Amino acid sequence: MACRDQAIDRGLDLRDFGTRVTAEDLEWVRKALQIERWNVYGESYGTTVAMTLVALHPDTVRTVVLDSIYPPDPVPLWSTTVNDARDAFFANCARDNVCSTSFPDLAEIYQETLARLAQKPLLVTVPPQMRQPDDRVMLTASLFEALVANLLYYPTAYPNLPRVNPICS
């Protein structure tokens, strides 16, 4: 809500955002480039934009490629997809001897971390490339959830996910 309020305070019209608006922007680009029919590639959320573009302007799309973990229809809420992926990760850890020995109840540790961060966010040092004041950021419960959710996209990061927990380290 704070982000929404800031956008409105800056004079932004929230009706200028959304999947349909993005698809119409792409249609404007197609016309500006004088392309009669084009090939569309959508990745992740871009698949939703691509499908909307095809639905709104089917005669302008020659081919469409959808590349995403999301099923095309109906698109589940992002939070549902992330929750399912996170639960699958925790279940995988519980079945893996090394992970389950090191982190006997990773799902519970995760929930406890969220509760603690909700009560008292943690000030953490971050790399200078993140360009944060004093190279620090306040790690809140929602930021921690987003961090874990984003790491779930990268299977090579899985061995390090349990170590992301700042409360346990």
| The pLDDT of residue 50 is above 90 | yes
More confident residue, 166 or 85: 85
Kind plus residue range of the DSSP H or E element containing 66: strand 61-67
As a whole-number percent, the residues of the chain with pLDDT over 70 amount to 86
For residues 12-22, give the mean pLDDT: 87
Structure token pair of residue 32: 């500006």
Mean pLDDT to the nearest integer, 80-97: 86
Q: Is residue 42 classed exposed, middle or buried when 0-12, 13-18 and 19+ CB atoms within 10 A define those classes?
A: buried
Which residues 6+ apart lie within 8 Å of 7 measured at CB?
14
Ordered alpha helix ranges (H), the chain = 2-9, 19-32, 46-56, 78-95, 97-102, 106-119, 141-151
Among 42-46, 90-94, 124-128, 157-161, the least confident range: 157-161
Least confident of 19-23, 68-72, 120-124, 158-162: 158-162
Indicate the pLDDT class of residue 74, thresholds 50, 70 and 90: low
What DSSP character marks residue 37? S
The whole-angstrom separation of Cα 46 and Cα 107 is: 31
Residues 37-66 have a mean pLDDT of 93
Residue 69 has pLDDT above 80, yes or no: no
